[in-house]
Amino acid sequence: MQRTKSTTQITKSSIWMHPNFLVLFISGAMITFGNKIYELALPLILYQWTSSSVAMSTMRGIEFLPNLLLAMFIGVLVDRVRKKQWSLWAVLFQVIILFLLYFLSIRSEPSMVIFYIGGFLLMTCNYAVGNARVGMVKHTLPNEMLTSANASFNFITTLIGIMGPALTGLVLMMPRLQDSLFLTGLLFMIGFITLLFLRSVEIITPPKQQGFWRELHAGWVELRSNRLLWLITLTVIFLNSTSGMVDTTIIFFAKDTLKLANFELGLVLSAAGAGGLIGSFLLKPLRRRFDAGVIVTLTTLFVGFTYGMLYVAQSGIWLAAALFFNGLFETISTVSIWTFRQETTPHHLIGRISGITGSLFKLGMPFAIFAAGWISELANPTVVFGIAMLGNLAIFLCCRFSSLWVKRTPSR
pLDDT tens per residue, range 96-150: 999 999 988 887 777 788 889 998 999 888 878 877 777 777 777 776 676 677 7
Percent of the chain with pLDDT over 90: 20
Q: Is the pLDDT of residue 258 over 90?
A: no
Confidence of residue 204 (pLDDT cuts 50, 70, 90): very low
> Which are the contacts of 219, defined by CB distance < 8 A and separation ≥ 6?
72, 75, 76, 349, 352, 353, 355, 356
What is the three-class DSSP state of 230?
A: helix
Is pLDDT above 50 for 11?
Answer: no
Least confident of 190-194, 200-204, 315-319, 346-350: 200-204
Higher pLDDT among residues 156 and 173, named by residue: 156
* pLDDT score for 1: 41
Q: What is the pLDDT, as a whole number, of residue 168?
A: 62
Determine the Cα–Cα distance for residues 323 and 269; give it in Å rounded to an integer. 7
Tell me what the pLDDT averaged over the chain comes to: 80
pLDDT for the residue 352: 77
Per DSSP, the residues of 214-241 read HHHHHHHHHHHHSHHHHHHHHHHHHHHH
121-125, 327-331, 334-338, 380-384 — which is least confidently predicted? 334-338
What pTM does this model have?
Answer: 0.69
Work out the angle at residue 162's Cα, subtended by the Cα atoms of residues 156 and 168, and round it to the nearest 5 degrees: 115
Q: What pLDDT does residue 279 have?
A: 84
332 within 8 A of 292, measured Cβ to Cβ? no
pLDDT in tens, 340-384: 887 777 767 776 787 778 778 878 887 888 888 888 878 888 999
Of 214-223, 256-265, 289-298, the range with the highest mean pLDDT is 289-298
Q: Is the sign of the CA dihedral 199, 203, 206, 207 positive or negative?
A: negative
Q: Which residue has the higher pLDDT, 255 or 158?
A: 255
Of residues 322 and 224, the one with the higher pLDDT is 322
Positive or negative, the CA dihedral 138, 144, 145, 150 is: positive
Give residue 61's pLDDT: 76
Whole-angstrom Cα distance, residue 353 to residue 109? Answer: 41
| pLDDT: which is higher, 134 or 328 | 328
Q: Is 268 in a helix, a strand, or coil?
A: helix
Instruction: Give tens-digit pLDDT for 37-54.
Output: 888 788 878 877 777 777
Confidence check: pLDDT of 401 > 60: yes
pLDDT of residue 37: 82
pLDDT score recorded for residue 398: 92
Q: Comparing C-alpha atoms, which of 216, 215, 235 is closest to residue 227?
A: 235
| Confidence check: pLDDT of 158 > 60 | yes
- The pLDDT of residue 396 is 95
Closest CA to 331 of 71, 153, 166, 164: 153
pLDDT of residue 275: 85
Average pLDDT of the segment spanning 269-276: 81
> Is the pLDDT score of 250 beyond 70?
yes
**Structure confidence at residue 167 (pLDDT):** 65
Residue 72 above 70 pLDDT?
no
**Whether residue 288 has pLDDT greater than 50:** yes
